Structure 1
Amino acid sequence: MTQTFRDICWCGNTELTEFSPDYLACSKCGTLVSKTGLRSEQLRVQDDNHDFYGKEYWLSYQTEHYRFPDIRQRARQDLPERCLHWLRTLMAYKLPPAKVLELGCAHGGFVAMMGWAGFDAMGLELSPWVVEFAQHTFKMPILSGPIEDQQLEPECFDAIVLYDVLEHLPDPVATMSHGASLLKEDGIFIVQMPNYEEGKTYSEMVAQKDHFLHQMKSIEHIHLLSRRGVSQFFKNLGFEFLQFEQQLFDYDMFFVASRQPLVRYTDEQISYYLLKSPSGRMVQALLDKSSEFNKFQVQYKNTQIDYQTSETRRGELLKIIEQQDQEIASLRSQVSATVTDLQQTKSQLTQAHSDLQHTQSQLTQAHSDLQHTQSQL
């Protein structure tokens, strides 16, 4: 696939600096820009067997290059993890029967979950094969092709959600501006995308084996934004109110963008709408179990932290004990040497005392002899 060098950021800045072999850095907005990422015309899928985002991207490319499960496996695995996480956030800001579009819906599992919850939901994908797969798997309406090509009424959606999509857009301003025109005045974007932490150099990332390195896929991930970049990007679109939510993975960011101040719904309000239908009750049950699982995860992580802390403390105490053992051994050696010295000194004193007594005996004898000699004289 022939690639053309890119030297301009989404913000219009052309004074980009070298960041890595494949990316340039924009100091104006804090974005990493792929030098050779796909162009807008290359996003279109006209030949499902050969175009980049065609059939094989979902069946083999991601598996071979990133070790991801293929789309058939993910249509099952994503439901209890990603899809529930995304739904919980969506329902915190929009309630059924709000009309929602998911850009880049892949297998369509999240579109289906929104439908089960009572939303008027549809998805969009670039590959006709993936669109057919999603429609067949989840029986939900899925649009085919770029959003700019769709016959959609302005201000018809309450929310547009895109998860791991924005970084793929060659012209994110044009695409998201079109999406903004499809949102009602109180409509929202919900976005999940990689989070470039400004201030880190490429060499530091490599030295630290930073997880973000796996997001530097220069062909696909064209714009890797920082939080500063995201804030500037959506403010330029007229969406100045951003709320960052808890992300699933440490290398991502997850946020809601709105033209108006954001207001969250309570769990009670969410349950009220879900419990109106049998499928909504099932979704509520899944959310309940997901909450329980999340609590267990938090407990498990806290237990791990406590264990690591105790292990660290145990290691520190072991070092202290080993040091004290060495000190005790040294003291014992010193005591033993001192005892030996004392014994030697005692032996020497005993010998000296014996020698002294012998000398005294000799002196007494000499004195006696002297007195005898004097008496004879």
Structure 2
Amino acid sequence: MDESYDCKICGKDFTKPNVLKYHMLKHTDEKPYTCEVCEKGFIWTSNLKMHMRTHTGEKPYSCTICGKDFTSTSDLNKHMRTHTGEKPYACEICGKDFAIHGSLKSHIQTHTGEKPYTCQICGKGFALTSYLKKHGRTHTGDKPYACEICGKNFAWTCDLKKHIQTHTGKKPHACEICGKGFARRQHLKSHLLTHTGEKPYSCKICRKNFAWASCWKNHMRTHTGEKICACKICGKSFVCMGDLKRHMRTHTGEKPHACKLCGKDFARKSRLKCHMQTHTGEKPHACEICGKEFARLQYLKRHIQSHTGRKPYLCKICGKGFTSTSDLKKHMRTHTGERPYTCKICEKAFAWPNTLKCHMRTHTGERPHTCEICEKAFAWPKNLKRHMKTHTGEIRGKDF
């Protein structure tokens, strides 16, 4: 019978004394082999040898299928599983299979909830030291991974890989239903929900369902009042980065969404979508009471209140009620005297945009309102209305 050598700390058995000797280094944290370049320590010379290749760039092991190179045989073996689909490590709790032992180890902690590695700055816990190390960059601002094409820096290699695809235009993940391509597998996974209609993320407060975790997360902030993204120019805070990005256009004047029919630009895609209905004449929102149709849902909602007589938005100064916040906002200018719309030619200011639009005709000479009887043109509809009375006999032409 072979002699057994036991570790007195953890009880693990070994058949050779030198293997036990190296094993003991795990408990003492002793790392006798040091890299001369970066001074990182290692327990085994083989690990130091592999580490040196990160400095030299040497990758002696190549994949016979795709030609990708690796620094060690273990890395090559792991990679080969991406071709074979082999997943030799199974979770004993739920049966899920994994290609890499480290992935199984991380997965086990989703069952136990164990997060043994804690950030010393914010106290957040992590399942793996690699996750803690990556998290540390959110505090230090360290971005060690640079794009070789444009020089942009990233905190994580995964973000750099995603960014590289903006240069190559590569979209390797295609939807089998509609054929649309995606740069990332998770984007394809999210896209598939548009076909299935599945909304797996549910708000426990209002029961609203969401297709994507990011949308659910942003929605939850509407309940908590949390606004994590602040504008550096005006200090206004927002629930998510997307809202902040759209807000920044009010400062920069950027309007990236252009109408292909008339060339008009818009700051938001939703505004462009609504604008397109002015070309198509589409009015998908119908009033159930009178049948009147509207291009936008907000117009329908406002119209509904003309039936109910409800005016929930009250002026705090005079008590007058309005059907929408935008109407209340416009009304407030009668009290404040605010005139935010200025003529670029004569600098005359106006309280409402339509008044400015009419004023511009005094400069351009435009007369868009034409009499159908005598074809006389007018700048303003009220003048056309008054002119029509000269045809009906309500007033005489010379009085007009």
Query: Which TM-score tier does this pair reach, normalised by the shorter chain?
Result: under 0.3
Instruction: Please state which structure has a larger fraction of its residues in helix.
Output: 1
| TM-score (normalizing by structure 2) | 0.18
Structure showing greater relative contact order (alpha-carbon pairs closer than 8 Å, 6 or more residues apart): 1
